[in-house]
Amino acid sequence: MRILRAAIVTATVTALAAAASGCGGGTSPGGAGDDSPTTLTYWASNQGPNVEADKKILGPELKKFERQTGIKVKLEVIPWPDLLNRILTATTSGQGPDVLNIGNTWSASLQATGALLPWNKENLDAIGGRDRFLAPALDATGVAGKDPAAIPLYSLAYALYYNKRMFQDAGISKPPATWDELVADGKRISKKGKWGLGAEGGQLTNNIHQAFALGKQHGADFFDRSGRPTFTSDGAVAAVKQYIDFMAKDKIIAPGNAEYGQNQSLRDFATGRTAMVLWQAAATTFAADGMKPDEWGVAPVPVPSGTPGTGRQTNSMLAGINIAVFKNTHNLHGARKFVTFMTSDSEQRLLNKTYGSIPPVTAAQQDPAFNRQDTKVLRETLARSATPLPQIAEESQFETSVGTAVKDLFADAAAGHPVTTASVKARLGKAEQQMTK
Amino acid sequence: MRTVARLRRAGLPYLLLLPALLLELLVHLVPMVIGIVMSFKDLTQLFLGNWGAAPWKGLGNYRVTVDVDAPVGATLLHSFVVTCAFSVLTVGLCWLLGTAAAIFLQENFRGRGLLRAVFLTPYALPIYAAVITWAFMFQRDNGLVNHVLHDQLHLTDGRPFWLLGDNSFLALLVVAVWKTWPFAFLVVMAALQNIPKDLYEAAALDGAGMVRQIRRITLPSLRPINQVLVLVLFLWSFNDFNTPYVLFGKAAPEAADLLSIHIYQSSFVTWNFGTGSAMSVLLLLFLLVVTAGYLLATSRGRKHADA
The 10s digit of each residue's pLDDT in A137-146 is: 998 899 888 9
Residues of A in contact with B51 (CB under 8 A): 92
| pTM (predicted TM-score) | 0.83
Average pLDDT, integer, range A251-267: 92
Which pLDDT value is given to residue B180? Answer: 93
In angstroms, the CA B172 to CA B82 distance is 11
Q: Is B249 on the interface with A (CB under 8 A)?
A: yes
Residues B87 and B97 sit within 8 Å (Cβ to Cβ): no
Which pLDDT value is given to residue B305? Answer: 52
Residue A206 amino acid letter:
N
Residues of A in contact with B72 (CB under 8 A): 434, 437
Q: How confident is the model at residue A25 (pLDDT cuts 50, 70, 90)?
A: very low
Which pLDDT value is given to residue B45? Answer: 75
In angstroms, the CA A280 to CA A258 distance is 20
Which pLDDT value is given to residue B209? Answer: 85
Is A407 in Cβ contact with B23 (below 8 Å)? no
Q: Is the pLDDT of residue B112 over 70?
A: yes
pLDDT tens digits for range A193-236: 999 999 999 999 999 999 999 999 999 999 998 889 999 999 99
Average pLDDT, integer, range A285-302: 92
Least confident of A93-97, A277-281, B133-137, B296-300: B296-300
pLDDT tens digits for range A154-187: 999 999 999 999 999 999 999 999 999 999 999 9
Q: Is the pLDDT of residue A83 over 70?
A: yes
Which pLDDT value is given to residue A275? Answer: 97
Ramachandran region, residue A283 (left: φ > 0; alpha: ψ -120 to 50; beta: rest):
alpha
Backbone angles phi, psi at A394, to 5 degrees: -90, 15
Least confident of A183-192, B214-223, B298-307: B298-307
Distance from the Cα of B156 to chain A's closest Cα (Å) equals: 14
pLDDT tens digits for range B47-58: 777 777 888 888
Q: Is the pLDDT of residue B39 over 60?
A: yes
SS (H, E, C) chain A: CHHHHHHHHHHHHHHHHHHHHHHHCCCCCCCCCCCCCCEEEEEEECCCCCHHHHHHHHHHHHHHHHHHHCCEEEEEEECHHHHHHHHHHHHHHCCCCCEEEEEHHHHHHHHHHCCECCCCHHHHHHCCCHHHECHHHHHCCCCCCCCCCCEEEEEECCEEEEEHHHHHHCCCCCCCCCHHHHHHHHHHHCCCCCEEECCCCCCHHHHHHHHHHHHHHCCCCCECCCCCECCCCHHHHHHHHHHHHHHHCCCCECHHHHHCCCCHHHHHHHCCCEEEEEECCCHHHHHHCCCCHHHEEEECCCCCCCCCCCHHHCCEECEEEEEEEECCCCCHHHHHHHHHHHCCHHHHHHHHHHHCCECCEHHHHHCHHHHCHHHHHHHHHHHHCEECCCCCCCHHHHHHHHHHHHHHHHHHHHCCCCCCHHHHHHHHHHHHHHHCC
Higher pLDDT, A24 or A272: A272
DSSP B125: S
Complex ipTM: 0.78
In angstroms, the CA A188 to CA A197 distance is 11
Q: Is B167 on the interface with A (CB under 8 A)?
A: no
Distance from the Cα of A273 to chain B's closest Cα (Å) equals: 12
Which pLDDT value is given to residue A19? Answer: 39
Q: Is the pLDDT of residue A24 over 70?
A: no
Which pLDDT value is given to residue B302? Answer: 58
Helix ranges (H only) for B105-166 are: 112-124, 127-137, 144-146
Which pLDDT value is given to residue A281? Answer: 86
Q: Which of B23, B27, B164 faces A259 most closely, judged by CB atoms?
A: B164
DSSP B119: H
Residues B172 and B256 sit within 8 Å (Cβ to Cβ): yes
Backbone angles phi, psi at A138, to 5 degrees: -70, -25
Distance from the Cα of A112 to chain B's closest Cα (Å) equals: 5
Which pLDDT value is given to residue B298? Answer: 83
pLDDT tens digits for range A29-71: 345 677 778 899 999 999 887 889 899 999 999 999 999 999 9
Average pLDDT, integer, range B14-27: 89
Which pLDDT value is given to residue A1? Answer: 40
Choose the mutation target among B247, B268, B271 for the interface with A, i.e. most A CBs under 10 Å: B271
* Cα torsion angle, A306, A311, A312, A316, sign: positive
Least confident of A72-86, A188-202, A385-399, B4-18: B4-18
In angstroms, the CA A186 to CA A195 distance is 7
Higher pLDDT, A12 or A254: A254
Q: Average model confidence (pLDDT) for chain B?
A: 88
Q: Is B140 on the interface with A (CB under 8 A)?
A: yes
Residues A237 and A425 sit within 8 Å (Cβ to Cβ): yes
Distance from the Cα of B217 to chain A's closest Cα (Å) equals: 30
Residues A401 and B269 sit within 8 Å (Cβ to Cβ): no
pLDDT tens digits for range B116-160: 888 888 888 888 999 999 999 998 888 899 999 988 998 888 888
Q: Is the pLDDT of residue A6 over 80?
A: no
> Helix, strand or coil for residue B161?
coil
pLDDT tens digits for range A295-324: 999 999 999 999 999 989 999 999 999 999
Q: Return the closest-CA partner of residue A216 out of A200, A199, A240.
A: A240
Which pLDDT value is given to residue A13? Answer: 41
Q: Is the pLDDT of residue B5 over 70?
A: yes
Q: How confident is the model at residue A17 (pLDDT cuts 50, 70, 90)?
A: very low
Is A256 in Cβ contact with B140 (below 8 Å)? yes
Higher pLDDT, B305 or A89: A89
Contacts of A397 (CB under 8 A, 6+ apart): A434, A435, B269, B270, B271, B272
Is B270 in Cβ contact with A397 (below 8 Å)? yes
Q: Which of A114, A259, A394 faces B49 most closely, judged by CB atoms?
A: A114
Which pLDDT value is given to residue A121? Answer: 92
Which residues pair with residue A298 across a beta bridge?
A: A161
Q: How confident is the model at residue A72 (pLDDT cuts 50, 70, 90)?
A: very high
Residues of A in contact with B163 (CB under 8 A): 202, 259
Q: Is the pLDDT of residue A261 over 50?
A: yes
DSSP one-letter string for B18-72: HHHHHHHIIIIIHHHHHHHHHTTB---GGGSTTGGGSPB-TTHHHHHHH-TTSHH
Q: How confident is the model at residue A268 (pLDDT cuts 50, 70, 90)?
A: very high
Q: Return the closest-CA partner of residue B277 out of B7, B54, B8, B25.
A: B54
Average pLDDT, integer, range A386-392: 90
% of residues, chain B, pLDDT over 70: 96
Q: Is the pLDDT of residue A7 over 80?
A: no
% of residues, chain A, pLDDT over 70: 92
Residues B269 and A419 sit within 8 Å (Cβ to Cβ): no
Is A16 in Cβ contact with B26 (below 8 Å)? yes
% of residues, chain B, pLDDT over 90: 43
Is A437 in Cβ contact with B272 (below 8 Å)? yes
Least confident of A7-21, A77-91, A318-332: A7-21
Least confident of A391-400, B128-137, B233-242: A391-400
Average pLDDT, integer, range A99-127: 91
pLDDT tens digits for range B168-224: 999 999 999 999 999 999 999 999 988 888 888 898 888 888 888 888 888 898 988
Choose the mutation target among A89, A111, A259 for the interface with B, i.e. most B CBs under 10 Å: A259
Q: Is the pLDDT of residue A420 over 70?
A: yes
Q: Is the pLDDT of residue A125 over 60?
A: yes
Q: Is B31 on the interface with A (CB under 8 A)?
A: no
Which pLDDT value is given to residue B8? Answer: 72
What number of CA atoms fall less than 13 Å from residue A353's CA on the CB side? 14
Is A415 in Cβ contact with B71 (below 8 Å)? no
Residues of A in contact with B263 (CB under 8 A): none
Q: Return the closest-CA partner of residue B105 out of B191, B208, B205, B206.
A: B191
Q: Is the pLDDT of residue B99 over 90?
A: yes
A-contacting residues in B 97-116 (Cβ below 8 Å):
none
Ramachandran region, residue A315 (left: φ > 0; alpha: ψ -120 to 50; beta: rest):
alpha
Residues A41 and A74 sit within 8 Å (Cβ to Cβ): yes
Residues A176 and A304 sit within 8 Å (Cβ to Cβ): no
> Helix, strand or coil for residue B208?
coil
Distance from the Cα of A13 to chain B's closest Cα (Å) equals: 9
